[in-house]
Amino acid sequence: MLVDITVELCVGFFTLLLMLKILGKIQFSQITPFDFITGMVLGNFVGDSIFDERTGVLDIVYSILLWGLLIYLVELLTQKSFILRSFFEGKPSMLVNKGEIDFKALKKNHIDLSQLQHLLRKQGYFSLFDAEYVILEQDGNISVAPKHSYGAPTNEDLQIPEKKVRLAYALVLDGKVNKQNLKTLQFNEGWLKKQLSQQQISDYKDVLYAEWQEDKGLQVATYNKSPNQ
């Protein structure tokens, strides 16, 4: 019995992993209702079959692959058809339009004013009258365009001179070198060791975190120490 469960669980796990790789990645916060349901069904295929003696390994693999194929076909269709995309994924709804609350849109999406206030507070707005536009996205989150009086000033508004944006690259995490980032920066471990030695660090194991940014150089946080101290 335990052997059967082990085999079925392992096969189901790796088949699910393969299917997720094929279907692509998505952040949980961006999951639509359709994605949520399909994910639950895939998980239930494995969970239910483990304790069903009549279900074999081939049944699990076949069920996951068939369901995955159906999801893949739906994804293909939604990419090609706006109508099908709206049907499966839903479409955004305007809850506040030009500063006016749309009660019909709230009712259609089963959202009351208390829920709307809660969603706005999570975005940093504590009054319904701060928003010029509020859009309910497919994943259940809201996007807010504040009224002019409540919008944050931009660098252009403040006439701050343009400054080039420079990415920070993590080179050492928890004592281990990120070789991919070193390669991206066209550096090598010899260069990294030299940079660390200038900060009296001789071993990667002493480094909790180190990152490189073009205008700041190498910043290092060692265990029990703050960056560059």
Sign of CA dihedral 41, 45, 51, 54: positive
Residue 5: Cβ within 10 Å count: 11
Dihedrals phi, psi of 11, to nearest 5 degrees: -65, -45
Considering the domain boundaries, does residue 160 fall inside one? Answer: no
Same domain, yes or no: 70 and 99: no
**What global pTM score does this model have?**
0.55
Domain boundary among 39, 65, 87: 87
Q: Quote the CA–CA distance of 222 and 201 in Å, as a whole number.
A: 9
Distances (CA, A) of 171 to 38, 159, 187: 38, 35, 10
Sheet holding 207-213, edge to edge: 176-177, 168-173, 207-213, 217-222
Same domain, yes or no: 29 and 48: yes
pLDDT of residue 27: 42
Same domain, yes or no: 98 and 50: no
Contact 202, 210 (CB under 8 A): no
Digit-coded pLDDT (tens) for 93-109: 999 999 999 999 999 88
Please give the tally of structural domains in the chain.
3
Same domain, yes or no: 65 and 9: yes
pLDDT of residue 192: 95
Considering the domain boundaries, does residue 44 fall inside one? Answer: yes
pLDDT of residue 189: 94
pLDDT range class, residue 132, cuts 50, 70, 90? very high
Same domain, yes or no: 73 and 98: no
Q: Quote the CA–CA distance of 104 and 210 in Å, as a whole number.
A: 52
Q: Give the structural domain span for 210.
A: 168-222
Residue 220 has pLDDT above 90, yes or no: yes
Q: Could you tell me the CATH number of the domain that includes residue 101? A: 3.30.240.20
Same domain, yes or no: 16 and 78: yes
Least confident range of 51-55, 88-92, 147-151:
51-55
